[in-house]
Amino acid sequence: MTPSVKQVRPTSVTASVTASGRGIPVTIITGFLGSGKTTLLNYILHNRQDLKIAVIVNEFGDIDIDSKLLVSIDENMVQLSNGCICCTINENLVDTVDGLIHRDDPVDYILVETTGVADPLPIMLSFITTELQTVTHIDSILTVVDAESLTPNHYDSEAALNQLIFADIILLNKTDLVAPKRINQLKEYIHSLKPGARVLQTQYGQVSLPLILDVNLNQPNTYQRAAPAEHHLADDHQSHHLEHDQFMAVSFESDRALNLPKFQAFIDNLPTNVYRGKGILWFQGSQLRHLFQLSGKRCDMKSERSHPPRCNQLVFIGRDLDAQQIQSQLRTCLASEQVSVR
């Protein structure tokens, strides 16, 4: 995973944020794999106005795809070391936030996008049990839910369940894919799990920003009381929860173009324990770069003009994946002739 930081500006929250005197507000955006976190971030970035926002993006997998899929990546991007934000880079998270606060051109607001398999508790504790507690405050934990794929057992993932239990705001996203009756059932279920959470229905993360930013919905005392014991727990939890949930990421990179029919056949035959795929692809005979998204059973590919150097970068996330098999199958999808990179 590669977190990165980006500075941008949204709106009518500006005056209250700068006048609050509570430290810089932080919204922690969680949600299971493919639920729509990056889409929501892009929506926020597109609709930014006067507020200077830093976005810390965290990626599960060796290749940083998410930050490339975010709008207007610029010189304000800062890369952090690899590792799930809730597991191995907590110290880096603290250093990064500290750096953001003390830079010459400080930011007004911080958004942290966690990986789809992150438990939000250790991340919260990083803010409320370290030196960050005096210079930041958690405005809310915002969890994005895929209305189509939420399962009653939360994908057999403790982290996915915690994403809902610790949420102050829940975006019931992808409502375009489900019937109204199902939406009502999901809302009832979510309220039973997390009474009092603000539940908002969205499509492609489109939501009025004042409903989700600078809302001051988080109650840090609840976690602070639990902090000493929980932090202990969290330390143990941090190092093991990925193994417990058995999630793993398989990465693939090549500077050779892919053969589209072969790649399509590969995708059609992916094992069911692959939950998520994303990548930036280059196909033989195409001048475009293709943004590949696989979320559950849904696959999507958007095309756009290519920026040289052309290459393929792919990440698949799932449980008990056979990395060598996936990588070797992908190698067989490469076009047989080396195509020169401009």
With binding defined as CB under 6 A, does residue 174 bind ligand GTP? Answer: yes
Binders of ligand GTP among 88-117, rule CB under 6 A? 115-116
Q: Which of 334, 313, 317, 302 is nearest to 270 (CA)?
A: 317
- What residues form DSSP beta bridges with 247? 319
Candidates 37, 241, 256, 310; binder of ligand GTP (CB under 6 A) is 37
For ligand GTP, the closer CB: 246 or 284:
246
With binding defined as CB under 6 A, does residue 149 bind ligand GTP? Answer: no
Number of H helices, E strands in the chain: 10, 12
With binding defined as CB under 6 A, does residue 266 bind ligand GTP? Answer: no
Task: State phi, psi for 238 to the nearest 5 degrees.
Answer: -60, -45
From 33-41, 241-249, 261-269, 321-329, span contacting ligand GTP (CB under 6 A): 33-41
> What would the two tokens of residue 322 be?
């056979």
Q: Determine the Cα–Cα distance for residues 298 and 181; give it in Å rounded to an integer.
A: 22
With binding defined as CB under 6 A, does residue 300 bind ligand GTP? Answer: yes
For ligand GTP, the closer CB: 86 or 227:
86
The site for ligand GTP, by CB under 6 A, has a size of 24
Q: Determine the Cα–Cα distance for residues 155 and 334; give it in Å rounded to an integer.
A: 32
Q: Determine the Cα–Cα distance for residues 50 and 214; give it in Å rounded to an integer.
A: 14
With binding defined as CB under 6 A, does residue 177 bind ligand GTP? Answer: yes
With binding defined as CB under 6 A, does residue 36 bind ligand GTP? Answer: yes
Strand order in the sheet with 288-295: 247-254, 312-319, 274-281, 288-295, 298-305
For ligand GTP, the closer CB: 10 or 34:
34
Q: Determine the Cα–Cα distance for residues 26 and 216; give it in Å rounded to an integer.
A: 10
Residues 6+ apart with CB under 8 A from 296: 34, 146, 148, 149, 275, 276
Least Cβ distance, residue 331 to ligand GTP (angstroms): 24
Binders of ligand GTP among 189-248, rule CB under 6 A? 203-205
Candidates 33, 171, 258, 335; binder of ligand GTP (CB under 6 A) is 33
Candidates 218, 293, 312, 313; binder of ligand GTP (CB under 6 A) is 293
Binding site for ligand GTP (CB under 6 A): 31, 33-39, 66, 115-116, 144, 173-174, 176-177, 203-205, 276, 278, 293, 295, 300
